[in-house]
Structure 1
């Protein structure tokens, strides 16, 4: 009997795979990280934990071992760090699903921007410099500041906004030249568009506006977003752009997508896209908005338990938003439950207390999160901003000596 192999580092408190895959649980092998291993251990007959999961090549070795030893017919991926490693494994073991040549333009931001620009979508100026000299030449053409990022990164890890030639030469000179992308800086608001696609076509779309931006964590400033109302003119423009972008990239089987877009005045400019569910608490806001958990639907589709394109997603008629509160440098000594705020759908504490922090290192690094509901986008945003103030009143910090 054929079996299913799944690679997944998200803990069971967020994605209860044992429940979601109950019909085939006796045929599932799960590869996960140390942190998620415990709750999943009793859910499936074969569960393996890999330390340093996201960057550990031992995951690839383990996938090969499992595929050689067991009759694996399905390989399920969910998060960004697993897209390419699973695609390579499918190539090596001839397993149906997303292959490496199809997946790479969805992960390599240089290839991605080439494809999207060819599809007629506005993109920032970009380049892949071989050395600091080429980087400085690009900045001379594009102007400062310059965005430096890894070609295959995620969650804004390794992204830096560089404002002068000396720092640009230092940053580029210290990185792997095969994994550096330069972009011109695009001012203005930033949006994300999320939904489902199938074979190059959009099936469902939700558009949201960021509160602050994905580099706010570098200054310990919260990051959030709020869903736009469907009759907002920007919603229609973003949905149309999403269709153009998806059509310009390799078609994939039923999958969520997460697209980020700059609004430079009246002009919409492509930032990047991924063929997976957006991070932070986009899963929760989409679940409240549609009545369907997008992660559960996608995983069950990959496992052959549901036909994703045939599932109808509802519309609550309300707007939802999420907020991530990044840690400061110092010692977190107390977190108190917020009282008297019925619009808070989820209040998520992500750490034990007390705990020492040295700040945040990525856009999704947070010790506290909120998901809120509003009658419309404006009200939801107002409530998210109230949560920014609320976070300060319900937490206690001891500032480290070097911050005094």
Structure 2
């Protein structure tokens, strides 16, 4: 019998994505392409290939093409933002089904996605390509401050700027990022996100969440929290309807996880922010698993590999998560999780006695917790209490 393979771009630690365990009962062998940092976790597997400078190295693509020819895959799987485009291009090169380049670009490039949506009736901020200083100044003159300037294709609010006054505008223009940037009008509203899974072109699982703080809070040494909304919440169905409309107007992908962000404004409008064809960062996927009892990455892998899925309406359990960024200093001690009854799960990504220089992006954190409660309101309160508990029981040399 011919051996079956799935080629996996694995930019995650093994404990989060144990691909060999997930595929243990199938006849499919994973071929792993990963970072040098994560390679140790996958080292017990037969076909693991690790790279330095994983995000930017073109050797990753060269190796992926060579491996696809040596071990012809039935699917190419990629769950990280940095791998969405490279996986789509590889699928088209070797003739494997899955998300193609046009769909991947629409879910990756913030300008392209809005171009697809601007005639849909979905509420959008006003936006333009910030191609030079002239375009930025002209946009501000036409639409006023504040404005948001962000890269076409980054994640975790990396290199995202909220320009609130002329001094901040001058600071930005004096030292702009190298990346291609988009400028858009600032939306005054509370942010929500919707995460879920598309199988055979249809949304099979979907859950709205509320952000506590915002995606730029790490810059002020503040935590970011995510709370799964109760089905009775006033915005629950509206957010589900909104994400369904967004996905319907973007180039189709038969199987994908998704993470979509919206604002809810004081005028009671749902305004689109952005969407990605991947699982959410930080502790979102873990919270989804604890709240609804399903692992999005595992089910997504099964869908890509053609493994039969039995997806029933999962039972909802009020849950949320908190991601705490590092401070500037040496981290000396973390508290014991058993001291806090509201905590279901801990993920410590840092190291004791390590020097940190503050937060880098919203999806990267020092320590994260899944937080429980009897309702979404109680979960939100417990997230705040957890932040206070951590601050009081951890130690830093600042």
TM-score higher than 0.5 here?
Answer: yes
User: Structure 2 vs 1, CA of residues 254 and 93 (structure 1 numbering), >3 Å: closer, same or farther?
Assistant: closer
Q: In 1, distance between residues paired with 2:226 and 2:318? A: 11
3-state DSSP class of the match of 2:330?
strand
With 246-255 and 263-272 compared, the bigger mean Cα shift is at: 246-255
Q: Which residue of 1 aligns with 2:308?
A: 306
Q: TM-score, normalised by structure 2?
A: 0.94
3-state DSSP class of the match of 2:13?
coil
Matched-pair contact (CA < 8 Å) for 1:123–1:269: yes
Q: Could you tell me which runs of 5 or more consecutive residues in structure 2 were left unpaired when the two chains were aligned.
A: none
3-state DSSP class of the match of 1:38?
helix
Q: Which residue of 1 aligns with 2:161?
A: 160
Alignment of 1:261 onto 2:295:
no
Matched-pair contact (CA < 8 Å) for 1:224–1:321: yes
Shift of 1:267: 0.9
Q: In 1, distance between residues paired with 2:389 and 2:334? A: 11
Q: Which residue of 1 aligns with 2:89?
A: 88
User: Structure 2 vs 1, CA of residues 9 and 111 (structure 1 numbering), >3 Å: closer, same or farther?
Assistant: same
Q: Equivalent residues in 2 for 1:121-140 (5 A)?
A: 121-140=122-141
Matched-pair contact (CA < 8 Å) for 1:201–1:247: no
Q: Equivalent residues in 2 for 1:352-363 (5 A)?
A: 352-363=351-362
Matched-pair contact (CA < 8 Å) for 2:74–2:305: no
Q: In 1, distance between residues paired with 2:240 and 2:355? A: 42
Shift of 1:166: 5.3
User: Structure 2 vs 1, CA of residues 385 and 99 (structure 1 numbering), >3 Å: closer, same or farther?
Assistant: same
String of CA shifts for 1:112-155, please: whole Å, max 9, x gaps.
Answer: 11212221100111100321011111111222121111101111
Shift of 1:199: 5.4
Q: In 1, distance between residues paired with 2:178 and 2:340? A: 49
Q: Which has the higher helix share?
A: 1
Q: TM-score, normalised by structure 1?
A: 0.93
Matched-pair contact (CA < 8 Å) for 1:332–1:355: yes
With 85-94 and 194-203 compared, the bigger mean Cα shift is at: 194-203
Q: In 2, distance between residues paired with 1:330 and 1:106? A: 37
Q: In 2, distance between residues paired with 1:280 and 1:61? A: 29
With 252-261 and 15-24 compared, the bigger mean Cα shift is at: 15-24
User: Structure 2 vs 1, CA of residues 166 and 378 (structure 1 numbering), >3 Å: closer, same or farther?
Assistant: closer
Alignment of 1:223 onto 2:224:
yes
String of CA shifts for 1:80-124, please: whole Å, max 9, x gaps.
Answer: 111100111112222221111121111110011121222110011
String of CA shifts for 1:147-178, please: whole Å, max 9, x gaps.
Answer: 11110111111111123345435535755787
Q: In 1, distance between residues paired with 2:359 and 2:272? A: 26
Shift of 1:386: 0.5
Q: In 1, distance between residues paired with 2:111 and 2:371? A: 35
Q: Could you tell me which runs of 5 or more consecutive residues in structure 1 were left unpaired when the two chains were aligned.
A: 400-404
Q: In 1, distance between residues paired with 2:98 and 2:301? A: 13
Matched-pair contact (CA < 8 Å) for 2:197–2:300: no
Q: Considering only aligned residues, what root-mean-square deviation do their CA atoms show, in Å?
A: 1.9
Q: Which residue of 1 aligns with 2:315?
A: 315
With 72-81 and 373-382 compared, the bigger mean Cα shift is at: 72-81
User: Structure 2 vs 1, CA of residues 165 and 92 (structure 1 numbering), >3 Å: closer, same or farther?
Assistant: farther
Q: In 2, distance between residues paired with 1:298 and 1:28? A: 14
User: Structure 2 vs 1, CA of residues 32 and 25 (structure 1 numbering), >3 Å: closer, same or farther?
Assistant: farther
Q: In 2, distance between residues paired with 1:116 and 1:105? A: 10
Task: List 4+ stretches of structure 1 deviating above 6 A.
Answer: none
Shift of 1:24: 5.0
String of CA shifts for 1:286-326, please: whole Å, max 9, x gaps.
Answer: 1122222111111122223233xx4214113x311000000
Q: Which residue of 1 aligns with 2:185?
A: 184
Q: In 1, distance between residues paired with 2:59 and 2:86? A: 11
Q: In 1, distance between residues paired with 2:150 and 2:339? A: 42
Q: Which residue of 2 aligns with 1:402?
A: none
Q: Which residue of 1 aligns with 2:387?
A: 388
Matched-pair contact (CA < 8 Å) for 1:327–1:365: no
